[in-house]
Amino acid sequence: MDARREYLRNECSRLGLDSSSHKAYAWEYLINRQYHVIWCNIFKAASTSWMYNFNLMANYTAAFLNRTKEVPLELARKKYARPTVEMIRKAQGDSITFLIVRHPLERLASAYNDKIVHAWPKSFHDQMGKRIIKKYRKTNQKSAPTERYPVFEEFVTYVLDETKMKRTRDMHWTPYTDFCTPCKFNFDIILKFETLDEDQKFLIQMARLQEIIKPEWRNSGKGTNTLHNINHLYSRLNKSQLDGLYNLYKYDFLLFNYTMDSYYEIIQKDNDSNHG
């Protein structure tokens, strides 16, 4: 944990992200004054589990949370107002501040599967999917996709185009460096999705939350199946798309010590087998 903190601090100053020209962004933080914990919610990085935990800490009962139809984030915001930067800094004096990060491309694939492939009919993301297909699907080719949802390369083209146009991106795939501005606040604990089981236990102990919450997975995206699925998705992309994604998530990669190597290998392998 110390090494991760140290790494983040060094990268922040190396990249100049801790300078005054960068604005701190507090919108996605939740501050629990009763248990002295502060969390920046990163969508698609164990956010479902920790939203549940923060709702428990806000004194909703487990029975209520398990039967309610309300969106967990909306429930949470009834108890946790969106804070200002000053509120976070003040609360940090006697609190543990943490965030959970995940490999940016794994997070993107997870958001795609969850929000685009399995979009609820008529939902916001379902409408988005229809617009993506209309704009990016070339239906006159023999090998045109027949899926009712955007295939991964159509989705990635859309995300990269929105970025180029400087349009507001969906929270589920916005770089988390943008909305947690981790160089502007001191983080006590950086949990990683890849080691979440032990990281969560450590956090729960440090924050003395053993009586309130149990480490659990509410929406688990781990396992060999997931990895296979992710490799399969990325094998559909070309190098310039991967380069574009690296540029989009560059700071997420650099600040939290993630690399692209295995992803370039996936498309390399795929190209080799196509030309073999």
For residues 190 and 205, give the distance between their C-alpha atoms in angstroms, rounded to a whole number: 14
Q: Judge contact between 24 and 190, C-beta under 8 A.
A: no
* pLDDT tens track for 193-235: 999 999 999 999 999 999 998 766 655 555 556 777 888 999 9
* pLDDT tens track for 36-80: 999 999 999 999 999 999 999 999 999 999 999 999 999 999 999
Q: What is the pLDDT of residue 69?
A: 94
Indicate the helix (H) or strand (E) that contains 51. helix 47-57
For residues 170 and 187, give the distance between their C-alpha atoms in angstroms, rounded to a whole number: 25
* pLDDT tens track for 149-194: 999 999 999 999 999 999 999 999 999 999 999 999 999 999 999 9
Q: Say yes or no to pLDDT of 272 above 80.
A: no
Q: What is the pLDDT of residue 110?
A: 93
Kindly indicate the confidence band of residue 137, based on its pLDDT and cuts at 50, 70 and 90.
very high
Q: What is the pLDDT of residue 57?
A: 96
Q: What is the pLDDT of residue 216?
A: 65
Q: What is the pLDDT of residue 143?
A: 80
Helix 104-111 vs helix 239-248: crossing angle, to nearest 10: 100
Q: Judge contact between 239 and 265, C-beta under 8 A.
A: no
Q: Judge contact between 182 and 99, C-beta under 8 A.
A: yes
Longest Cα–Cα distance in the chain: 62
| pLDDT, averaged across the chain | 92
pTM score: 0.92
* pLDDT tens track for 233-246: 999 999 999 999 99
Q: Judge contact between 81 and 32, C-beta under 8 A.
A: no
Q: What is the pLDDT of residue 229?
A: 86
- The contacts of residue 129 (CB under 8 Å, 6+ apart) are 116, 119, 149, 150
| pLDDT, mean of residues 130-140 | 92
Kindly indicate the confidence band of residue 270, based on its pLDDT and cuts at 50, 70 and 90.
confident
Q: Say yes or no to pLDDT of 116 above 90.
A: yes
Q: Judge contact between 231 and 266, C-beta under 8 A.
A: yes
Q: What is the pLDDT of residue 276?
A: 55
Q: What is the pLDDT of residue 90?
A: 97
Q: What is the pLDDT of residue 218?
A: 59
- Percentage of the chain exceeding pLDDT 70: 94
